[in-house]
Amino acid sequence: MRTRLFAILAALLLAAGAAVAQEPIRIGAFLAATGGAAFLGDPEQKTLELYVEKLNAAGGLMGRKLQLISYDSAGDAEKARTFVKRLIEQDKVDVIVGGSTTGETMAVVPLVEAAGVPFISLAGAVVIVEPVKKWVFKTPHTDRMACERIFLDMRARNIERIGLISGAGGFDKSMRGECLKVAPNHKIQIVADEAYGVRDTDMTAQLTKIKNTPGIQAVLNAGFGSEPAVVTKNYRQLAIGVPLYQSHGVASKEFIKLAGDAAEGVRLPAAALLVAETLPEADPQKKVVVGYSREYTTRFKSDISTFGGHAYDGLMLAAEAIRRAGSTNKEAVRSALESIKGYVGTGGVVNMSAQDHMGLDVSAFRMLEVTKGDWVLVK
């Protein structure tokens, strides 16, 4: 009699357990798959889809399948908020990977902080993790690192006086601010400082002003999206002879395609992912970047970009954190994220901590130059 009861109870518990186990792990995403930041969001979207599929094919996480719920926020901060609300309230996701742009990310930070959902951002500005926020992490290198890496390269070429041109969005303004702040530390003087608007198609006026500033030895364009391509084209048109530097916001073949021949000779700091095949075998990132690069290009028949790489890192970090936490309990996943050290990603080697929610340092940035329409590592 008692064994029968026991058996029934055990069966019920098993069934309940199985029902819970069938619950998929919900990964929420909001990406700028269309709009001005599409060449960030589109590879991010594709990457997340590809690797959620791969993870599920390998058995999922802790025996549970992963479910990706993603929305196109089109680079718009307001849409991002609406979708994140939807992800949290309606779709009840366990973790959020997304926010292609700084503007979108910063707009949703109050929402994830209030709701207590781990959020891994794919955007650039340092303000996302500084001051550090409990639930917010990020995978891309910061704009401050970009400034520093660029200034290092400039000093190596004996460049001292530069012109700065930036756009109107959150990342642009943030990077401009960071560059102005750290320039003195590298003995760089910013003698011209111009700005353009969102989706502007003609920067010749601003560049003419920079060109006519005496003593200019290089120009730095702090921005991302379509505008840097136009800046680059205008740069070539105005025959401004000095070197042009871009930020890691253009680390995609789309930029080279749009800027055409004008992109030749442009330098930018970027993750090793873009030069995966030419990296030395001994490089710690070699295996991961070559693996991602080949899998992405085989599946989508298009070039990789660092943005897809950031999404890959974001997803893998989330997966690793869930594994370590042994559950999808949000607080457990969050602390697990903070404890990750030595993770080799496409962006670099990641060492998270309670004070550092990004985990990369300046050495994770390589300096690249566009040569014959392709990325080449600058020694």
Partner 1 sequence: MDWRTPRTGGVALLAAVIVLLPLALANNYWYEVAILIGINAIVCVGLNLLIGYAGQISLGHAGFFGLGAYGSAILTARYGWPPVAALAATTAGVALVALLVGRPILKLKGHYLAMATLGMGIIISIVIVTEDRLTGGPDGMSVPAFTLFGLALAGERSWYWIIGAALLAAVWLALNLIESPAGRALRALHGAEVGAQVSGIDATRAKVGVFVISAVFASVAGSLTAHYSGFITPGKVGFFHSIELVTMVVFGGMASTFGAVIGAATLTLLPQLLTVLKEYEMVVFGAVMVATMVFLPRGFLPSLMFEIKKKRK
Partner 2 sequence: MSAQLAQYLLSGLTIGAIYALVALGFAIIYNASHVINFAQGEFVMIGGMATVAFAGAGLPLALAIPAAVLGAVAVGLALEKFAVEPARGASVVTLIIITIGASILLRGLATLVWDKKLHALQPFSGDKPIELAGATILPQSLWVLGVTLGIVLLLAWFFGRTLTGKAMLATSHNPLAAQLCGINVRFVLLLSFGLSAALGAIAGILIAPITLTSWDVGVMLGLKGFAAAILGGLGSGAGAVVGGLALGIAESLGAGYLSSAYKDAIAFVILLAVLFFMPSGLFGKKSAERV
> What are the residues binding partner 1 (CB under 8 A)?
71-72, 76-79, 81-82, 85-86, 89-90, 101-104, 106-107, 110, 168-170, 173, 197-198
Q: What Cα–Cα distance (Å) separates residue 169 from each residue in 77, 99, 140, 142?
A: 11, 14, 17, 15
Contact 143, 247 (CB under 8 A): yes
Beta strands at 161-166 and 25-31: parallel, antiparallel or unpaired: unpaired
CB atoms within 10 A of CB 208: 13
Q: Which parts of 164-203 interact with partner 2 (CB under 8 A)?
A: 168, 194-197, 200-202
Kindly report whether the peptide bond that precedes residue 269 is cis, defined as omega within 30 degrees of 0: no
Task: Output the six-digit token pair for 225.
Answer: 């999206």
Cα dist. 100→34, 83, 173, 257, 332 in Å?
11, 13, 16, 21, 25
Between 40 and 319, name the residue whose CB sits nearer to partner 2.
Answer: 40
Q: How near is the Cβ of 116 to partner 1 at its closest, in Å?
A: 15
Nearer to partner 1, 163 or 170 (CB): 170
Q: Tell the smallest beta-carbon distance from residue 133 to partner 1 (Å).
A: 14
For the chain, report the end-to-end CA distance as a whole number of angstroms: 79
Q: How far is the CB of 192 from partner 1 (least distance, A)?
A: 19
**Which of partner 2, partner 1, none is residue 194 near (CB under 5 to 8 Å by kind)?**
partner 2
> Which residue in 69, 230, 275, 315 binds partner 2 (CB under 8 A)?
230
**169 interacts with, out of partner 1, partner 2, none, CB within 5 to 8 A per kind:** partner 1
Q: Identify what 22 binds: partner 2, partner 1, none; CB under 5 to 8 Å per kind.
A: none
Site size for partner 2 (CB under 8 A)? 32
Q: Which positions from 235 to 254 touch partner 2 by CB under 8 A, shown as an x/- string?
A: -xxxx--------------x
CA dist., res. 366 & res. 280, Å (int): 13
Name 349's bridge partners. Answer: 344
Among 35, 308, 314, 359, binds partner 2 (CB under 8 A): 35
Which tokens sit at 65?
A: 């399948």
Residue with tokens 């995403």: 29
- Told to check if 226 binds partner 2 by CB under 8 A, we report yes
For partner 2, give the closer residue by CB, 148 or 227.
Answer: 227
Could you tell me which residues come within 8 angstroms of residue 156 by beta carbon, excluding any fewer than 6 positions away? none
| 53 is a site residue for partner 2 (CB under 8 A) | no
Choice between 149 and 173, CB closer to partner 2 = 173
